């Protein structure tokens, strides 16, 4: 199964932050191929700056980044943009109970462990992109 374009995804904005250029470009490639509009940042500070100009449908956030890690970035998103309905999906190589609890504490909505399956990533973003506007964090 390959990532396929779906016109229903057009106009839905996904904001991605990952300090690894390679991973960031792969995520952007697959989400754009699926039909999403994607904006990317290389760290949490850049992502927060983008949030002042962009209203994403979903945020995909790496847990381990320099300057401001994903946990702090997610917590700041929730503090500084309390009305933002966009779910936050952590995308990380950390596969531990501790990191899952940290994501939950930061009020993330979902958690994907690297390495990733492109179809699975798109499926997860799809699921969150169509969620009810009465969004509540659920990790």
83: CATH: 3.40.50.2300
What pLDDT score was predicted for residue 137? Answer: 44
Give per-residue pLDDT as tens, 86-110: 999 998 887 777 877 788 888 889 9
pLDDT at 80 > cutoff 90: yes
Tell me how many domains the chain contains: 1
In-domain check, residue 116: no
In-domain check, residue 83: yes
What pLDDT score was predicted for residue 1? Answer: 59
In-domain check, residue 124: no
Terminal CA-to-CA distance of the chain, rounded, Å? 27
**Structural domain boundaries, residue 81:** 8-98
pLDDT at 135 > cutoff 70: no
Least confident segment among 3-7, 104-108, 116-120: 104-108
Mean pLDDT value across the chain = 88
In-domain check, residue 93: yes
What pLDDT score was predicted for residue 136? Answer: 45
pLDDT at 139 > cutoff 60: no
C-alpha 26/C-alpha 45 separation (Å) is 21
In-domain check, residue 55: yes
User: What tokens does 109 get?
Assistant: 């909505």
């Amino acid at each position: 199964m390959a990532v396929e374009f779906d016109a229903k995804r057009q106009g839905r904005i996904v904001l991605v932050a990952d300090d690894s250029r390679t991973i960031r470009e792969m995520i952007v490639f697959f989400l754009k191929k699926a039909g999403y509009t994607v904006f990317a940042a290389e760290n949490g500070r850049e992502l927060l700056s983008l949030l002042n100009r962009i209203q994403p449908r979903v945020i995909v956030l790496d847990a381990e980044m320099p300057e401001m890690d994903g946990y702090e970035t997610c917590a700041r998103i929730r503090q500084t943009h309390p009305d933002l309905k966009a779910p936050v999906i952590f995308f990380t190589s950390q596969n531990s109970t501790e990191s899952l609890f940290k994501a939950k504490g930061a009020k993330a909505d979902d958690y994907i462990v690297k390495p990733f399956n492109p179809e699975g990533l798109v499926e997860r973003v799809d699921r969150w992109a169509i969620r009810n506007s009465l969004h509540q964090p659920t990790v």
